[in-house]
Structure 1
Amino acid sequence: MLLYPTVSDYWNSHYQSEAVATYSEKLLDISKEEKQKILENVSAYNNMLEKGTIPNLNIDSVALKKYDSILNITDTGIMGYVEIPKLQTTLPIYHGTDDAVLQVAVGHLAGTSLPIGGQGSHAAISGHRGLPSAKLFSDSDQLVIGDTFMIQVLDNTLTYEIDKIITVTPDDVSPLMIDPNEYFVTLVTCTPYGVNSHRLLVRGHRIENQSK
């Protein structure tokens, strides 16, 4: 039993790497024109979301079906991946935050903007902390203002610099509001570690990609 967390974490890390690799390989089969069409559809979806209001996370079944079909190029639900250099973490991002997703990866919070980096967008990416079977966002409390993370969607690498870190109650989604003039992504996880009574929100604004 003592080996369970180590073996499970290894398996999930392998799963995450395979999911990212499969996504990257699938991109090779999609033409430039097809990718542009996908981005246009995503932009249209994001433009339908209300700006300056608290996001509605309880979307109906019709809207959910449409949401699930966008950016789903592998038909597995993966829409891209997030890389956090400071934490040496790369995680696939899936549609939605069902428990099956959050046990092995991170999920995009339906009702928030899809993460393509357009002006007037605010995407939220949710992941667990403290799972014995997967590291995921367990070390997110090590992040500080000024750190960066990257979102990879299609062929686009979008870099975000952390500018705000706050703790809220689980029902407070007001910090995920869309500013029509900004490009935000917020990483969401449970806090305090092992208690999980609140949510830790780590927000970044888009900046120029940095040379490696």
Structure 2
Amino acid sequence: MKRDVFGWLGVVLLLLGGLTLSAPFALQAIDSAGQTTSAEAAALPTPDGRRMIEEAKAYNRGLSSKPQSVLGEAVDTFSGTSYSGGDKEYRGLLDADGEGTMGAVRYPRLHISLPVRHGTDAATLEKSAGHLYGTSLPLGGG
């Protein structure tokens, strides 16, 4: 009788150990099932999106030919004017939603999607990642 109990207990412990060891692999497979495929990710943007990307590429070419003298949220001490805040061309590029959102940093495995907005002032960084004024605009990659 005692031997049968220990036999069943051993089987149960082996099954629990197997489930514990296989759980990370099962969870990873479930998580991967919800991700976008590379074919979906390679879909072309709308005509408006293509125009915005071309304008951003032209802006980046301009930066490489004549770099900015100011990086970040620089403020003129005498007038109090923000250099990046007054740069309407910069603020209008890649503005997908009218609020300065130019893209997102995504980490699907951890279900993170953080918007990226123009500027690095405190108000921007409280609600999103910021893009440093005077540096190339993010246009994605491979």
User: RMSD in angstroms over aligned alpha carbons?
Assistant: 2.9
Q: Identity percentage over the alignment?
A: 38
* Residue correspondences, number: 88
Deviations 1:50-70 (A, max 9, x none): 36x797406746972110011
Q: 3-state DSSP class of the match of 1:103? A: helix
Q: 1:89 to 1:73 in 2, by over 3 A?
A: closer
Matches within 5 A, 1:192-203: none
**TM-score scaled by length of structure 2:** 0.51
Q: Is the 8 A contact 1:95 1:108 kept in 2?
A: yes
Post-superposition offset of 1:38? 1.1
Tell me the amino acid that sits aligned with residue 68 of structure 1.
R
Q: Larger helix proportion, structure 1 or 2?
A: 2
Corresponding letter in the other structure for 2:114: L
Q: How far does residue 107 in structure 1 lie from its aligned partner after superposition?
A: 0.6
Uncovered stretches (5+) of structure 2, i.e. residues with no partner? 1-44, 75-82
1:101 equivalent to 2:124? Answer: yes
Larger Rg: 2
Is residue 101–residue 118 contact of structure 2 (8 Å, CA) maintained in 1? yes
Structure 1 position 41 matched with structure 2 position 64: no
Match of 1:70 among 93, 99, 116: 93
Contact 1:55–1:112 (Cα < 8 Å) also in 2: no
C-alpha distance in 1, partners of 2:69/2:107?
Answer: 25
| TM-score computed with the length of structure 1 as normaliser | 0.36
Secondary structure of 1:82's match? strand
Letter in 2 for 1:75: G
Unmatched runs of 5 consecutive residues or more in structure 1: 1-30, 118-157, 159-207
